[in-house]
A = this chain, B = another copy of it.
Amino acid sequence: MSPNPLEEILHPQSIAVAGASETGDGGRFILALLKLGFKGKIYPVHPKYQEVRGIKCYPSVRDIPGNVDFVISSIPATQVLNLLDDCAMKGVKCIHFFTARFAETGRQDAIELEKEMLKRAKAAGIRIIGPNCMGVYHPGWGISWDPGMSNTPGPMGLISQSGALAYELIETAGTRGMHYSKGISYGNAVDFNECDYLEYFAQDDETKLVVLYIEGVRDGKRFLDILRKTTAKKPVIILKGGRGKSGTRATASHTASLAGSTEVWKTAMKQAGAVTVSDIEEMIDVAAAFYFLPPAYGNHVGVAGGGGGGSVLAADLCEEAGLDVIPLPAEIREELKKQGNPVWDWISNPADFSILPGGVGAEALSKMMAAHAAIDLNIVFIVPRGSRGPLTVDSLITQFPFDDMKSKPLFAILYDRSSGEKDPTGRITGIFTEFKNRLVEKSIPVYPNITRAANAAAKMVKFYKQQKTREKQ
């Protein structure tokens, strides 16, 4: 089998940025390469400048002395045909067109220009990423479009038709301690499209799960075929833009996509074994479950640590998400009785810790719930205040025997109300952040409420169950 064509393209030895001025978008790409530590050659290209960001600048791609593997185009749409001719001359393998104002404008001349661009690229054997997109994020290789992005690699692959949403997905993931292998913002996708990118991530060993924002599919049959093959190997979480009447109208003017029927899409996604979500927040929530946790194949959930009302609501919300809040297993109740726990007959699942006198028995109960064969996964509430003492990282981290519970999927809930008038010095924010970092080190994801954790848990279980069923077929 020949290697995936994107493998070489995503590992360039040299990158030229056409339209690189000191302060404009092109210069920003240069700055990003520098900040993330790209180790290959960087060539700013601009007819007016001698130097950009301290690096020698060339008047055109033709004038660059060495090989140029990859070009980022940050020039106006009117100049792209010239750039293509230069790149053809130079033997460039791939151009990422950050350049926009093509088919997405709906204007005839722009649509024609896009077609001509593709024609010339094909003739010259140049592959295209975009146009109208942010391009490649490859933290481990030092490539990004934003100098502020992390260069820490992780096991998550990102494919996004939208640049702004790719940014959101990268930044939001970062606040949860989640990092990417590679990410692609792919825009109008005249050449490489969602199928190619997904196929790449399917075979990429650095990628354990894939998140995909998509507005329209060019080749439905091929896409579903690749998707089915990918989900057999790793989770694919899909956020579809253009689901409704007005969203469909909006996709046309964003990436010139045809959105298609929502019902057909839903059925196709289900059959292909993809996990579907409806917004960015849910995407990261669900991705966090796959990112951090071992698989679970059953939906029996144990819930512990909430107060009375919180426990009632947790039960409702878990059930509504599709989890089964089973009664407390009889063996656990018997063991609590044996230990002399005064509420052995009263405590239940969800386990309301506020009825445990002085909290005695909480740790033993947590361990038993995590170990019991009838419980597939656990959700625990962290009490976000030190009502009986000062709030410290230790007052949070000692609320559960996390290390003893994490062999099964464990979701932690911490209501974060730190910012604002209650926390003028940022002390509480700091404590919460440190606590979350400590749990991330233990590979335990933290959610801000039960609704979001239960949803992520239910979607994770559903994926693994379906994957297992398909394996047997």
Chain A interface (Cβ < 8 Å from any Cβ of B): 104-107, 148, 160-165, 168, 171-172, 174-175, 213, 215, 239, 241-247, 249-251, 253-255, 278-281, 306-313, 315-320, 324-327, 345-346, 348-350, 352, 354, 415-422, 426, 429-430, 432-433, 436-437, 448-451
Contacts and interface: CB of A to CB of B under 8 A. Distances in A.
Contacts of A174: 417, 420-422
Contact of A418 (B242, B251, B419, B437): B419
Contacts of A168: 310, 415
Contacts of A419: 175, 416, 418-419, 429, 432-433
A359 to B, nearest CB: 15
A442 B45 CA distance: 48
A-B pairs, top 4 by smallest CB distance, nearest first, are A162-B309, A164-B307, A426-B426, A246-B325
B346 A162 contact: no
Contact of A309 (B165, B416, B436): B165
A417 B148 CA distance: 14
A315 B244 contact: yes
Given A172-B417, A244-B315, A426 B436 contact: no
Nearest to A436: B420
A215 B313 CA distance: 9
Most chain B C-beta atoms within 10 Å of own C-beta, residue among A246, A309, A315: A309
A417 B241 contact: no
A308 B348 contact: no
A266 B375 CA distance: 31
Q: How many copies of the polypeptide does the oligomer hold?
A: 2
A105 B355 CA distance: 9
B420 A319 contact: no
Contacts of A254: 308-309, 311-312, 352
Contacts of A348: 249-250, 253
Nearest to A132: B308
Contacts of A172: 415, 417
A397 B416 CA distance: 25
A365 B250 CA distance: 17
A311 B175 CA distance: 23
B106 A250 contact: no
A357 to B, nearest CB: 10
A278 B320 contact: yes
A346 B106 contact: yes
A399 B125 CA distance: 44
A448 B113 CA distance: 39
B281 A162 contact: no
Contacts of A253: 308, 346, 348, 352
A148 B272 CA distance: 52
Given A246-B318, A278-B320, A346-B253, A417 B171 contact: yes
A336 to B, nearest CB: 14
A278 B175 CA distance: 26
